[in-house]
Amino acid sequence: MRPDDVILGAGMTGIAVAWSSGLAVYEAEARPGGICRSYHLRPGLKTPLADPSEDGESYRFEIGGGHWIFGGDPLVLRFMNRFASMKRYQRRAVVHFPDSGLTVPYPLQYHLHHLGRDAAERALGEMRKAPDTPPRLLSAWLEQSFGPTLTSLFFGPFHEAYTAGLWTEIAPQDGLKSPVNLAMAAQGATGGVQTAGYNSSFLYPEQGLAGFAESMASSSLIHYQKMVTSIDLSTRVLQFQDGASVRFNTLISTLPLHRMLDLCRLTVDEPPDPHTSVLVLNIGAIRGACCPDSHWVYVPRSRSRFHRIGFYSNVETSFLPSRSEGRVSIYVERAFRAGSRPSLEEIAAYSNAVIEELQDWGFIGPVEVLDPSWVEVAYTWRRPESRWREKALQVLSSFDVVMVGRYGAWQFQGIADSIRDGLMAGACLRRDAAGSLSNGG
C-alpha cells in the first residue's frame, strides 16, 4: 500500500492544509492552534483552564500573547468567517517613553509634532536627506530611513530589545512594520494623520482563537500529543515520542525550518539564519489610574527590558472575568536570543520586576493572575546575503518534505496569510492525489 501524505503541526497553517486536503495531522500538543491558542486563568487557581470557569470569573489569555488577524485576501477572510464571527477593530497604538512620561501615537514617524517643534523639524530634515543606496543591515536601514534623532530616541533602543540585540547583524525587514512615507511624516510634523501600518485595522474572533481553531479543525483527522522525535528520510518514517511511528509519502511540515533540518539530519553549507524567542507574561490585574486605552504600547526603554505591552481587554472585554469593572488583562513581551532561555528563578524575578514597573507607571494595580509562557521560535530573521533559507527549503523538498507557514517557510506573515498558504498547499496535494489515482497510481 502506498503511504499517505501527512502533515506535521496543527497550528493555523497545518489545520488549513488538513481542511483543504483531507490528510491526517500529527500535533505535539493536546489541542489545535499552536501559539495562537486561548486559555483561561481564574484568580486563586494556578492551573490554566481550557475553557472559562463555571462562575465566569476567569481571565482569557493566549499562549504567545495577542494574535490579531490583519491583512488577508478577501477570499481567505470569507473562508475564515465560516468558522467564527469576526469583529473588526481600528488600531489604537502608542509609543511610551517612561523617563519623560511622554506618549506618542504610533507610528512615531507620522506624529512628530508630539516631540516638540525643534525635534520634529530636525527629524523631518534628517528623513529628507536619506540616501538612496540600500543598506545591508537593519540598524543602518533604520538610521537611513528615520535619521539619527528618531533612531536614538526610539528605533534604536526599541529594536535592540525587540531583536535581542540582533538588529546590528540582520538584514532589513520589509517596510510593513516601519513604513516610510515622507509626505505623511511632513503632515505629522504639524498635526495628526490617519492611522497607518500593516495592522491599522484588524480582526479577532468573537469567541477567541481557541474556538476558531477548534472549529476549523473539527472536520479533520488530527492525532494529538504526537511529538515527532526523528524523521528517517530513507525509509520515510516519522518516529514519535510515545514510541509510535508512521510512514509517509510526502511530508508537509509547519515546524520551524531549522528544527526540520535537525529532525531529518540534514545540513546546508551556510550558517542558519537566526531567530529570537519571546517570554510572554500574561497578567490579569486591577486597572491602574494611568492605564492607557491603547491596544498595544511600544516601549523603547524599560527597567525590566520588555519592549511591548498588549492590552487584551482594550481590544475585547471578553478577555476579562464577568465582573470586569476596574480590571485589565495584558501581555508583556521580552525577547531573547535563541538558546538563552531564562531559568524558573530568573522568570520569577523578572515577573516581579515587571509588575513593580507597571505599577510605578500606574498601568496596573494589584495583580490577580500571572502566567509566563515561553515561545521558543517567535520571530525569524535573515542575515545579509544569506542563502540558508532557500538552500534549506530546497534540500528538504528534494526528499518530498514541503515546508509551509510562518515558521516552516521562515518568513514574517500573519494568521490570514498562514491560512492562505495552508489552503493552497492542501489544494495542490489533493489535486496531485486525484491525478495519481486517475493514472492508476
Burial class (CB in 10 A: 0-12, 13-18, 19+), 12: buried
Query: CA-to-CA distance for 241 and 238, rounded, in angstroms?
Result: 10
Q: So what's the pLDDT on residue 441?
A: 46
Residue-wise pLDDT for 374-415, tens only, equals: 999 999 999 999 999 999 999 999 999 999 999 999 998 889
Cα within 13 Å of Cα(145), Cβ side: 24
Q: So what's the pLDDT on residue 174?
A: 61
Non-local CB neighbours of 430 within 8 Å, separated by 6+ positions: 20, 21, 22
Are 255 and 410 contacting, i.e. CB atoms less than 8 angstroms apart? no
- The domain defined by 6-30+224-269+383-438 carries CATH number 3.50.50.60: yes
Give the rounded percent of residues in the chain with a pLDDT score beyond 70. Answer: 94
* Least-confidence region, from 185-189, 283-287, 366-370, 436-440: 436-440
Phi, psi angles (nearest 5°) of residue 40: -130, 150
Read off the pLDDT of each residue in 10-17 and give the average, rounded to a whole number. 95
* Least-confidence region, from 44-48, 123-127, 141-145: 44-48
Give the rounded percent of residues in the chain with a pLDDT score beyond 90. Answer: 74
Q: So what's the pLDDT on residue 73?
A: 85
Are 25 and 14 contacting, i.e. CB atoms less than 8 angstroms apart? yes
Q: How confident is the model at residue 431 (pLDDT cuts 50, 70, 90)?
A: low
Q: So what's the pLDDT on residue 438?
A: 43
Q: Is 439's pLDDT higher than 50?
A: no
Are 124 and 265 contacting, i.e. CB atoms less than 8 angstroms apart? no
Residue-wise pLDDT for 31-60, tens only, equals: 999 988 888 999 988 888 888 888 889 999
| Domains of the chain by residue range | 6-30+224-269+383-438, 38-91+274-380, 108-188
Read off the pLDDT of each residue in 322-336 and give the average, rounded to a whole number. 93
Q: Is 437's pLDDT higher than 60?
A: no
Q: How confident is the model at residue 112 (pLDDT cuts 50, 70, 90)?
A: very high
Residue-wise pLDDT for 230-250, tens only, equals: 999 999 999 999 999 999 999
Phi, psi angles (nearest 5°) of residue 249: -95, -70
Q: So what's the pLDDT on residue 3?
A: 64
Q: So what's the pLDDT on residue 201?
A: 86
Identical fold, 6-30+224-269+383-438 and 38-91+274-380: no
Q: How confident is the model at residue 199 (pLDDT cuts 50, 70, 90)?
A: low
Q: Is 193's pLDDT higher than 80?
A: no
Q: How confident is the model at residue 180 (pLDDT cuts 50, 70, 90)?
A: confident
Question: Which CATH fold would you assign to the domain 38-91+274-380?
Answer: Polyamine Oxidase; Chain A, domain 2 (3.90.660)
